[in-house]
């Protein structure tokens, strides 16, 4: 049975959320995770602390299915952190890989939730195992936990800093002891993290601003790359304990990962996607009758393309928003069943038309091929694919679930060959300069684009026999 949801897209592997000093801290974390559900749909967890006791609830599936009223009643306390995860291995997630991780240390309980991936995670894990550490999961978050526990520094923030100075890679991290909540963003700023506030003394940490909107929290600012914010009885304290590095925010946040109603590092995701679509129209015009998005990821870019080109925007493909991750497939095979249960062509908008299909990426090409054929079957006269990212020819090792390079269509095929593979009349991608001009109006120095360029900001430390990086993929 083929994967059902977004099987031909990159997946961001998780989201984090934290609340300090609120009588309904865990309930707010629940709502925050609900708003961040797009960042991970396979597992979720919430940890709260009350009178030095850590209360934990974790499960597989969607946030609303895991945390029922009785479960939430157990999560007492005025501070709480949570996590949503996308599993990288496919199928059901290992129960030991659910976050947040909670451990007992000599100084009390600690909890950790991590978005990202450590490129020296394997190396550090082996070193720790040789020193006697016993791991309970395959997550490199646990590497950070063990390094923190081994530190002889006096305070939890100091021990966490010492641990993080020994790892390399991407992390937006929330951590908690019985008195403090800490938010840390890696020195390159690969993954987003922001600060919010309710009233005068309730602080929020979130992967995206859209989650602040749901709980009616005020957006304060983004956590800066290399910054640690410590939130406790003294309010918010900010530190920059790490060596400064060039910014490398994942540009795919603006193409696909983040929700369009979020703002990241001062840039509106929605407006950026519309500008990307407009740039795509300027770079790759074609005579056509309608511009049709591949929902939902192509909608904003298609709007920008339509506005720039003057070609009407139509909902030529309708998405079923009530599809779960599992389904019963009929015994009699239905062609392209996995795509058609999620997306259906709208013949009234397509029949006899020259159609421009706008999508965010072509990864393996399998879904794009099926969508093109579905649109043709609905009566489209021509189908032209326009992609709001450059060709994705390289895998990501900084916290995004991607296929191996051999599975990426652009790694071994020219654009013309890719066009033939997906059976479109034409296929064009936005250029890297066009992408950056659209996202931030200029140079690319603030972003990581390794999946397009192969230019990895942080070097690797472990490779397997096939030349591919061997990592414990972390959410």
User: Which residues are documented as binding site?
Assistant: 250, 297, 359-360, 396, 448, 451
Is 14 part of the annotated catalytic residue set? Answer: yes
CA gap 264, 360 in Å, rounded: 18
At 187, list the tokens.
Answer: 């020195």
- Long-range contacts, 406-411 (Cβ 8 Å, 24+): 407/363, 407/364, 408/363, 408/364, 409/362, 409/363, 409/364, 409/365, 410/362
**Bind-site residues for Mg(2+):** 297, 359-360
Backbone angles phi, psi at 70, to 5 degrees: -65, -35
- Long-range contacts, 217-222 (Cβ 8 Å, 24+): 219/194, 219/195, 219/263, 220/194, 220/195, 220/196, 221/194, 221/195, 222/192, 222/193, 222/194, 222/195, 222/264, 222/265, 222/266
Would you give the DSSP letter of residue 411? Answer: G
Helix axes 432-440, 269-283, angle to 10 degrees: 140
CA gap 130, 122 in Å, rounded: 12
10 Å CB burial of residue 310 (0-12, 13-18, 19+) is exposed
**Bind-site residues for [4Fe-4S] cluster:** 250, 396, 448, 451
Q: Determine which one of 14, 202, 210, 419 is catalytic.
A: 14
Q: Active-site residue numbers?
A: 14
């Amino acid at each position: 049975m083929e994967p059902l949801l977004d099987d031909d897209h990159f997946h961001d592997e998780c989201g984090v959320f934290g609340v300090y000093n609120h009588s309904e801290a865990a309930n707010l974390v629940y709502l925050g995770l609900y708003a961040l559900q797009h960042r991970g749909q396979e597992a979720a967890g919430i940890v709260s602390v009350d009178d030095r006791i850590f209360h934990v609830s974790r499960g597989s599936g969607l946030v609303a299915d895991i945390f029922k009223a009785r479960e939430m009643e157990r999560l007492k306390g005025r501070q709480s952190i949570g996590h949503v995860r996308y599993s990288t291995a496919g199928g059901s997630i290992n129960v030991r890989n659910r976050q947040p991780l909670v451990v007992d240390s000599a100084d009390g309980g600690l909890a950790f939730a991590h978005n990202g991936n450590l490129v020296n995670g394997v190396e550090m894990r082996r070193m720790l195992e040789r020193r006697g550490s016993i791991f309970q999961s395959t997550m490199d978050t646990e590497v950070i936990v063990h390094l923190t526990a081994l530190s002889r520094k006096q305070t939890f923030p100091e021990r966490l800093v010492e641990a993080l100075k020994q790892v390399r890679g991407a992390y937006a991290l929330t951590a908690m002891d019985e008195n403090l909540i800490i938010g840390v963003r890696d020195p390159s700023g690969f993954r987003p993290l922001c600060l919010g506030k309710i009233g005068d003394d309730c602080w929020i940490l979130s992967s995206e601003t859209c989650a602040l909107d749901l709980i009616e929290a005020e957006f304060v600012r983004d956590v800066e790359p290399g910054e640690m914010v410590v939130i406790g009885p003294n309010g918010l304290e900010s530190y920059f304990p790490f060596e400064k590095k060039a910014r490398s925010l994942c540009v795919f946040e603006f193409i696909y990962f983040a929700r369009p109603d979020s703002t990241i590092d001062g840039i509106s995701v929605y407006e950026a996607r519309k500008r990307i679509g407009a740039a795509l129209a300027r770079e790759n015009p074609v005579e056509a009758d309608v511009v049709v998005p591949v929902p939902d990821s192509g909608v904003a870019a298609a709007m920008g393309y339509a506005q720039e080109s003057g070609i009407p925007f139509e909902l030529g493909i309708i998405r079923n928003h009530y599809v779960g991750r599992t389904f019963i497939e009929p015994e009699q095979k239905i062609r392209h069943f996995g795509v058609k249960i999620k997306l259906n062509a709208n013949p009234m908008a397509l029949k006899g038309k020259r159609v421009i299909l706008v999508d965010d990426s072509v990864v393996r090409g399998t879904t794009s091929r099926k969508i093109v054929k579905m649109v043709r079957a609905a009566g489209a006269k021509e189908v032209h694919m326009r992609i709001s990212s450059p060709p994705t020819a390289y895998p990501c090792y900084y916290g995004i679930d991607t296929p191996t390079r051999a599975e990426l269509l652009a790694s071994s095929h020219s654009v013309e060959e890719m066009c033939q593979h997906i059976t479109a009349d034409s296929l064009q991608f936005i250029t890297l300069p066009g992408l950056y001009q659209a996202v931030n109006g200029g140079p690319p120095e603030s972003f990581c684009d390794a999946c397009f360029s192969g230019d990895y900001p942080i070097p690797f430390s472990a490779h397997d026999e096939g030349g591919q990086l061997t990592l414990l993929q972390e959410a």
